[in-house]
Amino acid sequence: DVTVNGNTTSGTGVDVNANLTNQGSTTVNGNATGSGTGMDLAGNVTGGTVNGNATDGTGVNVSGDSTLTDVTVNGNTTSGTGVDISGNLTNQGSTTITGNSGSGAGVGLNGTVTGGSLAGNSVSGPGLHVTGNSTLNGVDVTASSQSGPGTQMDGMLSVSGGTTLNGEEQKDSAELRRQVYERQQQLSRSDTVRDAYRTSGYRVEEKPVSVEICTDGECRALETGYADAPKAR
């Protein structure tokens, strides 16, 4: 059982960019007292507890392709983002990730998360803030805020694999896109039928109109053109 502490003001408290295996109740703490990042994850971690704490910066930043196996991750900050995910994160086993913030986002998402549990909590900011195009695959998500929005979407979020949000299973994005596509095709066919109906409307045969003028027993025919046919409706 080991406890590891890393402290910084404006840099990174603990930087994990390789494979880290924690046995027993090992705890890794990264702390940033200024605008720095408490913990940066860009590698694979197995076991133990990882804590990232910051004042104005990010508690835990997932910046690369990482796999977490049976790990408890906690990111805490006063005004920044508790846990910011901008890479590809795969959670296995009993991995749980929790981000807490005072005025910022509990969890910021601009990447891909597969599996595990993801919780974002904030006092006045959003619980979950999707900042860019992101994907959740089979993730149990909870997002809450005391006075801010539970979720804030500033990017496109795709979900699949039975992802839940606050206990409610979300429909797969691919299935929703398929339903929208089929509906668009139905509307397109309806427009085609309407256009065919309009173009096949009844038209009166055009006939010339002539006026016969007779004076002193002599008659002359005057062609005045064609009558206007009624327009198809």
CB-CB contact of 84 with 113 (8 Å): no
Tens of pLDDT along 2-11?
Answer: 899 999 999 9
Tens of pLDDT along 172-194?
Answer: 877 666 666 677 677 776 655 55
Indicate if the alpha-carbon torsion angle 74, 61, 54, 57 is positive or negative: negative
Q: Where are the alpha helices (DSSP H) in the chain?
A: 173-199
Which uninterrupted H or E stretch holds 128?
strand 128-130
Q: How confident is the model at residue 37, as a pLDDT?
A: 97
| 230: pLDDT strictly greater than 50 | no
Tens of pLDDT along 25-52?
Answer: 899 999 999 899 999 999 999 999 999 9
Tens of pLDDT along 76-93?
Answer: 999 999 999 999 999 999
- Going from N- to C-terminal start, the domains of the chain cover 3-169, 180-226
Task: Give the number of C-alpha atoms closer than 13 A to the C-alpha of residue 204, restricted to the C-beta side.
Answer: 9
Contacts of 145 (CB under 8 A, 6+ apart): 106, 121, 122, 123, 124, 125, 126, 127
Q: What is the pTM of this model?
A: 0.76
Q: How confident is the model at residue 1, as a pLDDT?
A: 76
Please give the mean pLDDT across all residues of the chain: 85
| 121: pLDDT strictly greater than 60 | yes
